[in-house]
C-alpha cells in the first residue's frame, strides 16, 4: 500500500469532506466572536437636586468580573465618599473552555482535511483512521454541547453583573440609596450572543459529521455485512 501524499479533491465534494470544511469555518467564527471582546456600559447616578454623574463600566474577555474595578478607594460620587467596589462574578472558566474547544476543533478540522485531501487512500485502506476519526468527532460533539451550555450560562452572568440591578448590589452609593443608579448606555453584546449560536451550531455539525465518519469505519461495514448475511439466510445443504 502506497502511503505518500496524493492530492485528491474529490473528498470535499462528498459529505465527509464538505462537512469538515463547515466545521472548520464554524469553529473560527465561534472563538472569533467572543475572544478579544471588550465592552463599556455607562452608569448614571442621580444626585441630590438636578445633578447627575456618570460612571464608566468597562469589561472584557475573559470576563473576570470580580477584578473589574467600578470605583477606586475613597472615590467621591455625589459629594459622598464611597469605598472601592468591583463587579460581581467570574465567567472566565466557561468562556476560556469554550475558546479552547473551538481552537482545538479548528486544528483538528485542518488536520482531518489534510488527511482527506492527501491521504484518503491510506485512510480508507486502514481500520485505524476511520475509527480514530469517529471517536474524535463524537468527542468534539460532546465537548461542544458542554462548552456551549457553560458559555451560555456564563454570558448570562456577564449580562446580569453589568446590568443596573447587578451594579446596584455592589456599589455602596446605590446600596445606601443615596443616589438613583441606572445603566443608561449598554455595550453591544451581539457578537457574544452570536458566539453562543455558533457553539450550538458546531454541536449540530459535529454530530452530523459523526454519522458520515461512522459510515467509513469498520463498525458500520461489519453491521452492513451482518445484515446482508442475515438477509440471504443459511446456505442450502
Confidence of residue 188 (pLDDT cuts 50, 70, 90): very high
What is the Cβ-side half-sphere exposure of residue 210, based on CA atoms within 13 angstroms? Answer: 14
The per-residue pLDDT for 6 is: 77
Most confident of 54-68, 124-138, 170-184, 214-228: 54-68
Q: In the structure grid, which three cell numbers stand for residue 62, read together? A: 475573559
- Residues 34, 195: contact at Cβ < 8 Å? yes
How wide is the angle at C-alpha 198 spanned by C-alphas 197 and 204, nearest 5°? 95
Q: Percent of the chain, pLDDT > 90?
A: 53
Asked if the model's pLDDT at residue 236 lies above 70, the reply is no
Cis ω for the linkage preceding 62 (within 30 of 0): yes
Asked if the model's pLDDT at residue 5 lies above 80, the reply is no
Confidence of residue 136 (pLDDT cuts 50, 70, 90): very high
Average pLDDT over residues 201-230: 71
Q: In the structure grid, which three cell numbers stand for residue 50, read together? A: 438636578
The per-residue pLDDT for 78 is: 80
The per-residue pLDDT for 232 is: 54
Asked if the model's pLDDT at residue 223 lies above 50, the reply is no
Average pLDDT over residues 50-66: 90
Q: Which residue has the higher pLDDT, 211 or 157?
A: 157
Q: DSSP labels for 9-57? A: -GGGGSHHHHHHHHHHHHHHHHHHTTTT-EEEEEEEEE-STT-EEEEEE
Mean pLDDT value across the chain: 86
- Residues 45, 179: contact at Cβ < 8 Å? yes
Helix intervals (H) in the chain = 15-32, 92-118, 120-125, 128-161, 164-168, 172-175, 190-216, 218-232
Average pLDDT over residues 16-43: 93
- Residues 3, 122: contact at Cβ < 8 Å? yes
Asked if the model's pLDDT at residue 1 lies above 60, the reply is no
- Residues 104, 93: contact at Cβ < 8 Å? no
Asked if the model's pLDDT at residue 62 lies above 90, the reply is yes
CA 87 from chain centre, in angstroms, equals 23
The per-residue pLDDT for 234 is: 54
Asked if the model's pLDDT at residue 187 lies above 80, the reply is yes
Helix axes 190-216, 15-32, angle to 10 degrees: 160
The per-residue pLDDT for 181 is: 86
Confidence of residue 98 (pLDDT cuts 50, 70, 90): very high
**Cβ contacts of residue 43 below 8 Å, gap of 6+?**
54, 55, 56, 57, 164, 167, 171, 181, 182, 183, 184
**Exposed (0-12), middle (13-18) or buried (19+): which is 12, by Cβ within 10 Å?**
middle
Asked if the model's pLDDT at residue 182 lies above 50, the reply is yes
Confidence of residue 15 (pLDDT cuts 50, 70, 90): confident
Q: Which residues pair with 183 in a beta bridge?
A: 43
Amino acid at each position: 500500500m502506497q502511503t505518500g501524499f496524493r492530492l485528491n479533491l474529490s473528498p470535499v465534494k462528498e459529505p465527509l469532506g464538505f462537512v469538515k470544511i463547515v466545521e472548520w469555518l464554524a469553529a473560527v467564527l465561534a472563538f472569533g466572536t467572543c475572544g478579544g471582546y471588550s465592552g463599556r456600559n455607562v452608569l448614571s447616578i442621580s444626585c441630590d437636586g438636578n445633578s447627575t454623574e456618570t460612571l464608566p463600566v468597562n469589561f472584557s474577555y475573559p470576563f473576570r468580573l470580580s477584578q473589574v474595578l467600578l470605583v477606586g478607594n475613597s472615590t467621591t460620587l455625589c459629594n459622598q465618599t464611597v469605598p472601592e467596589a468591583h463587579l460581581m462574578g467570574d465567567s472566565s472558566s466557561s468562556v476560556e473552555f469554550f475558546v479552547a474547544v473551538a481552537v482545538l476543533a479548528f486544528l483538528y478540522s485542518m488536520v482531518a482535511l489534510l488527511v482527506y485531501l492527501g491521504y484518503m487512500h491510506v485512510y480508507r485502506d486502514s481500520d485505524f483512521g476511520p475509527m480514530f476519526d469517529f471517536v474524535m468527532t463524537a468527542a468534539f460533539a460532546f465537548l461542544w454541547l458542554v462548552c456551549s451550555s457553560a458559555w451560555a450560562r456564563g454570558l448570562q452572568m456577564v449580562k446580569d453583573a453589568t446590568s443596573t440591578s447587578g451594579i446596584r448590589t455592589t456599589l455602596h452609593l446605590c446600596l445606601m440609596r443615596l443616589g438613583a443608579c441606572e445603566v443608561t448606555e449598554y455595550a453591544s453584546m451581539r457578537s457574544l450572543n452570536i458566539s453562543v449560536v455558533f457553539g450550538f451550531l458546531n454541536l449540530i455539525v459535529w454530530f452530523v459529521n459523526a454519522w458520515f465518519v461512522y459510515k467509513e469505519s469498520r463498525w458500520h461495514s461489519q453491521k452492513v455485512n451482518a445484515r446482508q448475511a442475515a438477509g440471504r439466510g443459511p446456505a442450502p445443504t
